[in-house]
Amino acid sequence: VIERILVANRGEIARRIIRTARRMGIETVLAAHEVDVGSKAAEEADALVPLQADSAVAAYLDGAQMVRVALDRRCDAVHPGYGFLSENASFAQQVTRAGLTWIGPQAELIDLMGDKIRARAFASRCDVPLVPSASGENDAEIVRAAEDIGYPVLVKAAAGGGGKGMKIARGPGELLAVIAIARSEARRYFGDDRVYVEKLISQPRHIEVQVLGDSHGNVVHLGERECSIQRRFQKIIEEAPAPSFDDHLRARICEAAVAIARESGYVNAGTVEFVVGNDGGFHFLEMNTRLQVEHPVTELVTGLDLVEWQIRVARGERLAFTQQDIPARGHAIECRVYAEDAACGFVPSIGRIERYVEPSGEGIRVDAGVQEGDEVTSFFDPMLAKLVVWAGSRQGAIELAERALRDYCFIGPKTNIGFLRAILDHPVFARGEVDTGFIDLHGAALDAVVAEKTELDPQVAAVLAALSIPEARLPRNPLAHLGAWRN
Amino acid sequence: LDVILESSAERMPVAVGINTVYIGQSAVRVGDVQYASSAVSATVDGCRWFAQIVRRGDRVTVWAEGRCWEASVLILPSQGTVDAGTDRDCIVALMPGSVLQVHVGAGDSVRAGQPIVTMESMKMQMSLDAQMDGVIALIHVQPGSTVDKGDILVEFEQQA
């Protein structure tokens, strides 16, 4: 049984976990750093425990403290969300050793899939195609390996993920420098500077498959997600199902994901990521052993609550459905709202959220981590919220997302809302002809549309502003007063 | 008039009348204005707008249907006469700037509304008018004088 869950995370995903736990009659304890004690998640959790730490990020990475809090507060399970400790195998182990239920896959699988080199070897044993790649004991070996693979190559961190520590080398001349940067990033983010090189697939699509396994040997997939719209290797728009995607390819890629999960004896929710070339070939990229940021699009098309199933399989339940029972209805799109300046290289933007009004209506879901009055800081990832929509068709979903974003009011830090709208509005996106190069290729066209969609007519704006300024109200004798101005 | 909106592109004196908002030289028809706790909705030139408006210090941000606009709000002290402690009333500078023109001489009789001094401030001209009928007693400035907000420019005696 699980009666009380420690939520070892913050922001929107903490709220997401709390929401489902509450619906299932499970209490939640939120461990939060002091910068988050006034957050919406803190307000919604049944109990709040302040974390002691030197920095806000350190608080959420302090596994030992999380376990202590869970035991002190008599929690019986820990949900790590995504990021932070979610893919930390030793934390999963600590949780289990403390007699708590870990709401996630087995520690040894987190470990296996967390090592990109071992994970690839595993996928290969499951007959899942890989992107040609090679590693080496030292830089010279890696350079030789790159020659065999052929340029351009991608230099990636062995312990990487989330696009961090990933760099392109277009030719042998720049490879050594790129390896040095990738190693330094990998050391900083993952404490492990091993890197490997991978063939760069041209015009690749990033497609991933949601899988779910129980502890009775059942594994299903919940269909694929299209995640090609990325900036700086990070996803900003995801959808389910993937548009313009061949049914035969869809079946094969989903089967490949299930094969990896089944062979590994995977229990809980996970995601197998693939890169699909413009020749229709697909290759294993990595497996993420956690709930993904973009899980809501899968929830909207399948009607399944992934957090609920994470909890249910963690407490030993069997999946209540077989592969054939899982529906795939309509189309869902997620837009990640970031505090960033899309016009200036997507640099994060910080500051107080002065006004915050969410869109609402049928088919619109907002998973937000922030509320009006919150201070957006540079401590954390600048994602503010996820706008997720569902409609019967992809066209309908695009229109609904566009409208919902138009109605999404953020006054404070700059956001990428206008940029997201420009993407939704782009004819190439509308045709579903997406690949990971979309934003680079169409950047200038997108920027132009952003300006057109986000600039308010100055006269209308001034009128609206004037209406709200008490000092601008005319006194008793308006005409005499107005006469004072001569331009 | 004493409120100016200054965006990056332009500076606009504003005033709100009945069914009309005056923005610079233009009068814009406004109808059915409604205020919610933090929002304003109004029909502007026949189009309905739902706006969120945040004012913090002298900055105002207007958001409406995904579009944003920002400006500074300059509020000048209400134009009026200042009692100089005698039976004389004064015309004072409402903002720092320079005097462009003095339209009267000492001893002139003036009528309420008659322009007395034209000032320039922040690239904008402003006419300071007599608030009532009277006689000019003293003139403290000449064209080109630099003045601070609150400086007395002209003193006049009210006509009994």
Both tokens of A392, joined, read 């019967």
**8 Å CB contact between A226 and A434:** yes
Residue A4 has what pLDDT? 98
The two tokens of residue A397 are 């979903």
Q: Are B93 and B147 in contact (CB under 8 A)?
A: yes
Q: Does A177 touch chain B (CB under 8 A)?
A: no
Q: Do B62 and A409 touch (CB under 8 A)?
A: no
Q: What local confidence, expressed as pLDDT, does residue A475 receive?
A: 59
A337 to chain B: which residues are within 8 Å by CB? none
Q: Does A407 touch chain B (CB under 8 A)?
A: yes
Segment-wise mean pLDDT, segments of 10 residues, chain A, 487 residues: 97 98 98 95 98 94 98 98 97 98 98 92 96 88 91 88 79 92 87 89 93 98 98 93 96 98 98 92 95 98 98 98 97 97 88 96 97 92 96 98 97 96 97 95 94 93 92 57 36
Look at B3 and A471 and tell me if their CB atoms are within 8 Å.
yes
pLDDT digits (tens, 9 = 90+) for B40-57: 999 999 999 999 999 988
* B127 min Cα distance to partner chain A (Å): 6
Question: Minimal Cα–Cα distance from B82 to chain A, Å?
Answer: 17
Nearest neighbour of A459 by CB, restricted to B23, B55, B66 = B23
Instruction: Give the residue from B60, B13, B23 showing the smallest Cα distance to B40.
Output: B60
Q: Supply the pLDDT for residue A405.
A: 98
How much is the pLDDT for B123? 62
- The per-residue pLDDT for A223 is 98
The answer to whether A383 and A337 are in contact (CB under 8 A) is yes
Q: Does A479 touch chain B (CB under 8 A)?
A: no
Say what the pTM is: 0.82
Establish whether A232 is a catalytic residue: no
- Residue A383 confidence (pLDDT): 95
Residue B93: which pLDDT band, with cuts at 50, 70 and 90? confident
Measured over the CA atoms of residue A229, residue A234, residue A235 and residue A236, the dihedral's sign is negative
Taken in order B99, B101, B106, B108, the sign of the CA dihedral is negative
In the chain, the amino acid numbered A39 is S
Please tell me which of the candidates A406, A458, A468 has its beta carbon nearest to residue B9: A458
Q: What is the pLDDT of residue A477?
A: 38
Is B42 in Cβ contact with A467 (below 8 Å)?
yes
- Residue labelled with tokens 């909207």: A300
Which pLDDT score, from 0 to 100, does residue B92 have? 78
- C-alpha atoms less than 13 angstroms from C-alpha of A300 in its C-beta half-sphere: 29
Q: For residues A378 and A413, is the Cβ–Cβ distance under 8 A?
A: no
Ramachandran sector of residue A161 (left: φ over 0; alpha: ψ -120 to 50; beta: rest): left
Closest by Cβ to A469, choosing from B38, B69, B73: B73
A451 touches chain B (CB under 8 A): no
Q: Which of A354, A417, A462 sits opposite B12 (nearest CB)?
A: A462
A481, closest residue in chain B (CA to CA): B1
The dihedrals phi and psi of B28, each to the nearest 5 degrees, come to -110, 130
Relative to beta strand A383-391, strand A347-348 is: unpaired
Contact A478 B15 (CB under 8 A): yes
Note whether A468 contacts B: Cβ–Cβ < 8 A: yes
ipTM for this prediction: 0.84
For every residue of A100-156, DSSP letters joined together read PEESSS-HHHHHHHHSHHHHHHHHHHTT--B--EEE-SSHHHHHHHHHHH-SSEEEE
How far B134 CA lies from chain A's nearest CA (Å)?
Answer: 17
Q: Among A355, A472, A473, select the one facing B63 at the smallest CB separation.
A: A355
**pLDDT band of B68, cuts 50, 70, 90:** very high
pLDDT over 50 (residue B84): no
Of A134, A155, A129, give the one whose Cα is nearest residue A145: A134
Looking at the DSSP bridge assignments, the partners of residue A334 are A238, A388
Which distant-in-sequence residues (6+ apart) come within 8 Å of A483 by Cβ?
A: B113, B129
Cβ–Cβ contact A373 with B under 8 A: no
Of A2 and B118, more confident: A2
Rg (CA), chain A: 24
Query: Nearest residue on chain A to B38, judged by CA atoms?
Result: A355
